[in-house]
Amino acid sequence: MDNHNNLQARIQDALAAKRNLGEMSDADSVGTAGSADCGDMLRMWLKFREDEHGRRVIDRATFQTFGCETAIAVASVATELLAGKTAQEAMDLSGEELAAPLGALPPMKIHCAQLVEGALRNALEAGASVQLKKTDSLSTAIAVSELNASAGASPASPTLLENLRSGLNSSGKVKVVLKSSLQ
């Protein structure tokens, strides 16, 4: 069996036993990455806890995606890798490292790992903002809130579909391109 077939088998295995798929209602942070141009979007939820050493670590990560089989497989294995990592350890992970359990991705699928990495980074940045609000003075929390408001951030996270719709062209249409999983 060659590398292409091995990768396809690992992707199919990850799809058959998807891990951490779906929204997390009590998440500490949420991050979204994607492009309305190609239709791939991924949202990741993170929940933190304090470990036995007093460090703030990722307890659980979940995801939801509009993407191909490879994007789903990478997100599934990546969410498993994140458990027990600090925000900095998770931030230091590359897309290649997040996809490592699947093996090397072909060049045309590297964007799937980058999509997962982007959503993770956005969630970690959002989590850092929330942590700042919890630990700093009230005046700092108000300043962060005002900064977010001036930047147009809403208090509630938009849904994945709302994020996709925000990238619509002027005709109000989304171009959907269906591809096989290894194109």
Q: Which residues are catalytic?
A: 38, 112
CA atoms 62, 122, 148, 143: torsion sign: positive
Q: CB neighbours (10 Å) of residue 132? A: 13
Q: Which residue, among 111, 97, 124, 140, has the nearest Cα to 32 in the 3D structure?
A: 124
Q: How many CB atoms lie within 10 A of CB 4?
A: 10
Give the contacts of 165 (CB within 8 A, at least 6 positions apart): 174
